[in-house]
Amino acid sequence: MAYGNNTNLGESPTEGAADLSTDIPYTTAATDFIRTSPIAENLKLQEIDYAATDFLSLKNSLIKYIKAIYPRDFQNFNESDLGMMLIELVAYMGSVLSLKADMLANENFLPTAKNRESVNKLLSLIGYRIRGPISAAANAEFVLSEPTASEYIVIQPDSRTYTTTSPEDGLPLSYTLYKTKDGVMIPSVADSSLTLYSGESADRQAWRNLVLVQGALAVKTGVFENTPGPKTISLTETPLASKSVEVYVDSAVPGVSGAYTEVDNLYQSSGSDSRIFEVRDASLEQASIVFGFGGNGVSPGPNDSYTVSYRVGGGSRGNIGTNALNLATTVTSPLGSLTGNVINTTAGTGGVNSETAEEAKVSAPLNFKRQDRVVSLEDYVSFCNNFVGPYGKVAKSIASTRKSYSSANIIDLYILGIASPLQLEKSSLSYKNALLTALKPKKMMTDEVVVNDGYISTLDLVLSIRIDERLRSREQEIELKVRDYILTYFNVNNREFGESFIPQDLIRALYTIKDIRFATIDNVSETVSIDFNSIIQLNNLIINTIYV
């Protein structure tokens, strides 16, 4: 029963009677029902919008829910109200959690994964590891201040690393000195020192059988612990240069002591007496060395000691000019200490940055498809593009078979070494020999492989861009943005053998830069076609800016 005003209409209240209008609130049957009757839980669920994920949709769905469930309790939806602040905070947290859930789901699948570590873990399931940085290398010589009568000189580990300035970013850049023989880098001895014999010098003063490889030399020693499973060694100094790890183990067990060889995958290696190891997570913050365990390589025992030497560094920032390094160093000999200079006699080339997640997504399926053997032309290309040769250099390749029936089993490999992100070069004889040696156990017995030099087709571009007059103060910024875009377009990793250059494709791509109103290529109007064994390389680039 609803309470009303106790005053009779048209009459004055009786003197001394209580005023019930101030003691009992005025209500109706409808309001009493709303206040006392609870809403069923299943009806509340009908008001939840499960499709809301972003901030605005969550905020609007929360407001709609409150209006439906609490129509009389909360009606102030002004932006300055405390209740609205709480609604927005809940919507904020909901949008963050929704994004996190989507990102975690995406990282579980290779096509949508973005995080480098996630991609590396997914690819490790098929035996593929994202490649770390490749070191640049240059021929070098060591010249004593005067000839020596000593039969040999020794360069200690702490004297094998030399520092200069990177032309790419102006920051310090380290190079490590190695010996070579017939174009192949000779592994260091167990204590990581370098010995130069008098017979290797024509005048006992200058040694030219040397190479400088990008990266600072790091040495780690220790003893294996008695732990179950494969023996591992963690390398905390990063970035680890690809194919730079040298391992020596000292053990009382026959067949365990000696130098170990790096392999791409332990599980693809056979023989329990093979002294091999695998480097994992070289592209991440901490790399690890994993040894064989059982039938896939020798397993060092507990208390066996090890010495690991490796280089820290790599990438395109290591590409330097001739004579960029000319530094004094001190060496030891049986006759005492001597001084001399280390000089790079050729330009340092071949430095390549770590493989990106997107690049790995392209190369990993091809690598998995060939199943550690080389049969089809696609297999040859995949193997060559992932092969890291002497001094850590890599190349681009294309394969073809000869047309005559009598020589259909002859595979012609055309390769070009990657000198820098924008330049290609002819690969050295040592690289070609190493490639053929690596291919021999993988290819079909009846295949005959011939390695040839690919061809470089240089291209000059004169580009005119038209921008608004109001953007004159940003001219340098816009030109730099256009230049960076074009250099990325012609990056050697983005160009393939036989790929034509279509001017309209580049112009269409440039229109993604919003500051450009119109662009033209002034010196090339038609498609530039090349042979199947050639790659187009950008030579000169001129950008003209016109205001409209």
Q: What gap in Å lies between CA 327 and CA 162, rounded to an integer?
A: 7
Residues 6+ positions from 481 with CB-CB distance below 8 Å? 513, 515
Q: What is the rounded CA–CA span in Å between residue 22 and residue 208? A: 108
Rounded Cα–Cα distance for residues 325 and 320 (Å): 9
Structure token digits, residue 402: 């000869």
Rounded distance between C-alpha atoms, residue 183 and residue 272, angstroms = 31
- State how far the Cα of 276 lies from the Cα of 263, in Å rounded to an integer: 7
Distance of alpha carbon 197 from alpha carbon 338, whole angstroms: 14
pLDDT score, position 67: 87
Q: What is the pTM of this model?
A: 0.76
Dist CA 374 CA 367 (whole Å): 10
Residue entry with tokens 């004169």: 462
User: What are the tokens at 184?
Assistant: 């192949």
User: Over its length of 548 residues, how does the chain's per-residue pLDDT go in tens digits?
Assistant: 343 444 344 444 444 444 444 444 444 545 544 444 567 777 788 888 888 989 999 999 999 888 888 888 888 888 888 889 999 999 999 999 999 999 999 999 999 998 888 998 899 888 888 888 999 999 999 999 999 999 999 999 989 999 999 999 999 999 999 999 887 888 878 888 999 999 999 999 999 999 999 999 999 999 999 888 889 999 988 889 988 999 999 999 888 999 999 988 887 776 778 899 999 876 666 789 999 887 788 999 999 999 999 999 999 999 999 999 999 999 999 999 999 999 999 999 999 998 889 999 999 998 899 888 999 999 999 999 989 887 778 899 999 998 877 777 899 999 999 999 999 999 988 899 999 999 999 999 999 999 999 999 999 999 999 999 999 999 999 999 999 999 999 999 899 999 999 999 999 999 999 899 999 999 999 999 999 999 999 999 999 999 98
The rounded distance, in Å, linking the Cα atoms of 237 and 432 is 31
Q: How far is it, in rounded angstroms, from Cα 458 to Cα 122?
A: 38
Residues 364 and 372: their CA atoms lie apart, in Å, by: 12
Q: What is the pLDDT of residue 285?
A: 66
Residue 277 φ/ψ, nearest 5 degrees:
-150, 160
CB 219 within 8 A of CB 307: yes
Count of residues in the chain = 548
Task: Tell me what pLDDT residue 28 has.
Answer: 52
E-assigned strands of 73-165? Answer: 137-144, 152-155, 161-165
pLDDT of residue 504: 94
Strand boundaries in 201-321, DSSP class E: 206-214, 216-223, 232-235, 246-250, 258-262, 276-280, 287-291, 305-312
Instruction: State which amino acid sits at residue 220.
Output: K
